[in-house]
Amino acid sequence: MHYHIAIAVIIWAAVFVEARKIRGISLSYKRFYKERKSFVCIDGSKLIPFEQVNDDYCDCADGSDEPGTAACPNGRFYCTNLGFRPGYIPSSRVNDGICDCCDGSEEYNSPTLCQNTCRNLGQRERAELEERMRMLSEGADVWREKQAELANLWGVASSMLVLLEQSRERKAEADRALMAAQGFRGQSRTQTRLEGLGQSPQDTERLGHKGEGDQARMDSAPHRGDSPNEAEGDQG
């Protein structure tokens, strides 16, 4: 007997709590809707008895006294949408016969029976998100792979540059050695020819200087016809 009374009390309490529930508000806005007190419009413009909240008559300019009805043109209704994403809809869509919230909570006084599709929508959205995350993860793996390849290529390119520089240095050394060898061979050929003529390079140098002296003397010696007297004598 006592058991049945307790069950009845619990059911009555649940029905009472549901009846007193303020429709169309989110948890963060519940602090504005404390029962048994006067209600202050959220914009602070007016103080009204709490009975005028959701009484289907618009009292507040911001529509905050009618979160669960379509009375205020600028009001908005909060869809809890358990299992999916919560959100707001314009209060004009409350009890308009069209299901807008996936939990159908805005059609609480409507001939339209709305199915709760939040769970399916949530599952679909989670599957899509998982697929997107999988693709992003694969893309990230490919990106890391390409980065590793790129780093490897940079290493190879750096090694090749070092080898190229070393080869340039060796070629420059070889060129210098070749030029030195060619110069030495030229000197050797000259020396060989002079030795064949019985002269040493020093002799050649002296002869060169001697030839220059003889030429100078020949240039400075007087020539016939240079003196005017001689010219006149020749004429006499």
Interacting residue ranges for Ca ion, rule: CB under 5 A? 52, 55, 57, 59, 65, 93, 96, 98, 100, 106
Decide whether 48 or 194 has the Cβ nearer to Ca ion.
48
In terms of CB distance, is 47 or 148 closer to Ca ion?
47
Of 25, 7, 35, nearest in space to 79 by CA = 25
* Residue 57 or 143 with smaller CB distance to Ca ion: 57
CA–CA dist 101, 122 (Å, integer)? 13
CA distances from 110 to 90, 94, 114, 226 (A): 16, 9, 9, 145
Nearest to 35 by CA among 21, 14, 15, 24: 21
Q: What's the min distance (Å) between Cβ of 99 and Ca ion?
A: 6
- As a 3-state breakdown, the chain gives helix, strand, coil percent values, each rounded to 5, of 60, 5, 35
- The tokens for 50 are 């709490």
Please give the Cα distance from 96 to 110 (Å, whole number). 7
Concatenated DSSP letters of 5-29: HHHHHHHHHHHHHHHHPPTT--GGG
CB nearer Ca ion, residue 98 or residue 169: 98
| Beta carbon of residue 110, minimum distance to Ca ion (angstroms, whole number) | 7
Closer of 59 and 103 to Ca ion (Cβ): 59
Q: Which is nearer to Ca ion, 97 or 183 (CB)?
A: 97
Most distant CA pair in the chain, distance: 184
Contacts of 51 (CB under 8 A, 6+ apart): none
Residues paired with residue 90 on neighbouring β-strands, in sequence order: 76
Minimum CB separation from Ca ion for residue 45, in Å?
13
Task: Name the residue nearer to Ca ion (CB basis): 111 or 196.
Answer: 111
Beta bridge partners of 78: 88
